[in-house]
Amino acid sequence: MTFMSLSQRIQLEQGKLKPSEVTELHLDHAKATDIEGLTGDYSSLELLSLSAVGLEKLGGLPDLPALKTLDLSSNSISGGLEELLRCPNLEHLNLSANKLESLESLAPLAKLGALKKLDLTDCAVAGSENYRKKVFALVPTLVYLDGIDQNDNEEPSEQTANGEEDEVDENGAVDDEDDEDDESEEEEEYGIEALQRSDDLEDDDEEDYAPGEDEENELDDYDDLDDEEDDVDEEDDGANLSGAGVTGPRRPAAKRRHETTEETDEAPVAKHKAADSEEKEATVNNGSTKDK
């Protein structure tokens, strides 16, 4: 596997931008023992990452007045930190996993007046007696040493507006897919909760409803009116039954209709019997007349 030199990697990262237009350079895993290919023309550079490059010293570091973050982790640097004074506005310095062994080798850092974050984890110096107390005393502006402040509070991680960290891929791009999925789920949950609340409100309205005094009076009036109409219907039915010669207790309407039908069917039979009787009587009378 072939590795690019530091100079080649700088050109690749820079692309078509002018050196003065470059604000970040990620040169991790390029190969160099000292810094090469980087000049003072990168006057706008704010972030420089040189992790696992193989650096043994900081020779060749140019003046970088705008630089705020410098990552030199996982190299073989054992001293020469005075070169860092070429970056007077440096705020975050990562020297973890290097060969720094003594507190004296850190002395130049005291002159970095803007330094707030320093990482020396996995360096031999981090195991020295009273290490934290001495480093905080050496760099008065320091807020976090190895991610922890003087009160043993951890440094807060960088978070998005919704309180979750963004996932960054190998190319440094932020993965927003999870955020979109979370937003969709929240909208669905909100919609379901809204429907449930609506159903609960309807149930409460049905259970809590009680008619007022005016409504009760109006309902009573309707009941009285219905009773009067029922009485009138019963009287009419009784009159009709009396006219038809039907006596006795009142029957339901359906039964009355059935009796009326039976009476209608019996009427022709009665008339037929009456006619036969009249004929017989006339015959008898005629016979009597002839005898006389």
Span 26-48, pLDDT tens digits: 999 999 999 999 999 999 999 99
What is the per-residue pLDDT for 154? 95
160 vs 147, 157, 212, 271, CA distance in Å? 19, 10, 55, 106
265 vs 95, 239, 270, CA distance in Å? 119, 21, 10
Span 165-207, pLDDT tens digits: 444 444 444 455 555 666 666 655 555 555 566 555 555 555 5
- Identify the band that residue 221 occupies on the pLDDT scale cut at 50, 70 and 90: low
What does the pLDDT average to over 126-144?
A: 96
What does the pLDDT average to over 47-53?
A: 98
Q: CATH topology for 6-155?
A: 3.80.10
Residue 137 has pLDDT above 90, yes or no: yes
Q: What is the largest CA-CA distance in the chain?
A: 175
Query: Is there a contact between 39 and 11 (Cβ–Cβ < 8 Å)?
Result: no
What is the domain partition of the chain in residue ranges? Answer: 6-155, 227-292
pTM above 0.85, yes or no: no
What does the pLDDT average to over 221-227?
A: 58
CA distance 223 to 218: 9
